[in-house]
Chain A
């Protein structure tokens, strides 16, 4: 009778019991297991002792707290550009004061060593910051200012300096379970007081450049004009030469007609003189003649210039 009652109870309350079992299973799973993601590495600390190698991704069994503690570390690269002294003055080899900021890309490569020596990321970055300041000061102290900024690529050493800082930082950080992937210079500034003198220099250089542009403009314009003038004169001279040749050809062609004047040169000369007179004595001419000149000799009653009777013959 009692068994029957029990059976009936189980049958009647199976749903409730299943729910309870599920809740209990979840509870137990949470207490006795842990998950590690792909981006993480976990350390199992059993009774305050690192009890195994780093654990990779997946679901793993654990004893509940406080028997076992699980420390997870993100093993992806992260960028760190310093905290204290992120931008601080550094002296170059030649005594220039520059304000330099650098960054490092790093990741936790050995969680056991990292955990034992640095505990957590906050503490690790404090330590890393100190290393970065040290290598920055040391490296920049080895190079002149002109090796930081220079238009000649052979003189530029920034990449070399980054490489040097990376090597030093990498060697130091490796002992602490940190892998430094790269180091970069993110800022090179000059002290605030010096910027004013840089501005003054920049202004002076611009004024000089402006004057150079204006002078160059005048010079180039003058050159263009001079070349144009020279070319023009040359073209005109050539044209004049050609014209001279043309005229001489004309004269030569005309000369063959002169042969006819040989038949009576005196008459030809006389006719030319008359022609010249016609051409010369045109408008706006003031003429002063004496009475010996024909035909004004006729004004003198004894004129015989043209061998004609000065007086009409008396009949």
Chain B
């Protein structure tokens, strides 16, 4: 009985020891796995977080304990991991920025023409011109960061400079305090320059004839301001996307454009008239000269022929003047009178107070000759 009890106890102790050993083995395995995992994480951390991978469109500023070391423009580079080394990536490819002074309604519903509302300061953005008119403009700026280190150290930007400017919120009051960052700064500077140049020009100059000069002047002054900022930024271009009068006045401005076009049309028609008249005049003048030349030729030829005719007649006349004269006279009268359509021959004898009443051309001419009447 005792033996069996002792045996059972020994068996139980043996089982306990076996379980204990198994537990110790499992703990060792788990510990080893943890060590391997931590070592792996360390290796990964050391290798991966120390990798500085720079795309061709970026630059990376390398800091050692926060202090500037170097700038990489592209490729892979390895450094000891954070917090020893850290990398700041800056976009160096071209960036665009839109600055617009447009009414809210216009921003929301582009192209609406029926609006007749006033402009609300702060909501509707606009500019005052030198002649106290109102216009809306839109601009697009292209710029590049040419000196990443200077850019990073000069202008406050987001923690990750590749991200857009950050909205600043007062942590105590939870009130939005506006956006801070390089793009906001550039927008403000450009907006100020646009405002000043606009305030020096007439609305007509800005809308029509001097748009190019307007853009050039804004670009010039903005470039000067950016140079003064000395933040490693270079301007690639500035486009004036749109210049428009306020919506309620747009129809009136269109009428001016139409009137200007009418003016152009009138002038064009007058020019056409001038060209046509010049051509007609040239033709007419040429005709006049030509007729004169013809007359000259004709008159000379005619007189020459008459002189020859006279010489010939005169020869005959000298021999028999009366016959020649009579023959010529009768021959001429015959020819002449035969061509005359209506002939009235009135007797010369008789009463001096006699009256003769004739109706000349009483009817339209007849195609067939009527018998001549002798009265």
Residues of A bordering B, CB below 8 Å: 15-16, 19, 22, 35-40, 57-59, 74, 76-81, 83, 86-87, 99, 103, 105, 107, 122, 125, 148-153, 156, 158-159, 162, 181-182, 184-193, 195-196, 198-199, 202-203, 205-207, 209-211, 213-214, 216-218, 220-225, 227-229, 231-232, 235-236, 238-240, 242-247, 249-251, 253-255, 257-258, 260-261, 263-264, 267-268, 270-272, 274-275, 277-278, 281-292, 294-296, 299-300, 306-308
Contacts and interface: CB of A to CB of B under 8 A. Distances in A.
A267 B310 CA distance: 8
Contacts of B126: 189
Contact of A158 (B199, B267, B310): B199
A308 B330 CA distance: 13
Contacts of A232: 277-278, 280-281
B274 interface: yes
A99 B66 CA distance: 44
B307 A260 contact: yes
Contacts of A207: 252, 255
B192 A185 contact: yes
A122 B172 CA distance: 9
B48 interface: no
Contacts of B68: 38, 57
B220 interface: no
Interface of B: 35, 38-39, 42, 63, 65-68, 83, 118-122, 125-126, 128-134, 152-157, 170-172, 175, 177-178, 180, 184-185, 188-189, 191-192, 195-196, 199-204, 225, 228-229, 231, 245-246, 248-249, 252-253, 255-256, 258-260, 262-267, 269-271, 273-274, 277-278, 280-282, 284-286, 288-289, 291-293, 295-300, 302-304, 306-307, 309-311, 313-314, 317, 321-322, 325-326, 328-330, 332-333, 335-337, 339-349, 358, 360-361, 365
A281 B337 contact: yes
Given A213-B259, A286-B342, A40 B249 contact: no
Contacts of A283: 339, 341
A36 B134 CA distance: 49
Contact of A289 (B266, B281, B285, B344): B344
Contacts of A296: 345
**SS of B interface (majority):** helix
Nearest to A198: B134
A290 B345 contact: yes
A188 B264 contact: no
A198 B274 contact: no
Given A236-B281, A278-B335, A192 B119 contact: yes
Contacts of A80: 178, 180
Contacts of B130: 149-152, 156
B196 A159 contact: yes
A243 to B, nearest CB: 3
A152 B276 CA distance: 46
B151 to A, nearest CB: 10
Contacts of A244: 292
A74 B152 CA distance: 11
Contacts of A292: 348
Given A184-B188, A206-B249, A267-B317, 15 more contacts: A76-B157, A77-B155, A78-B180, A78-B185, A79-B180, A83-B178, A86-B122, A122-B171, A162-B192, A184-B192, A209-B204, A224-B267, A224-B274, A250-B297, A254-B302
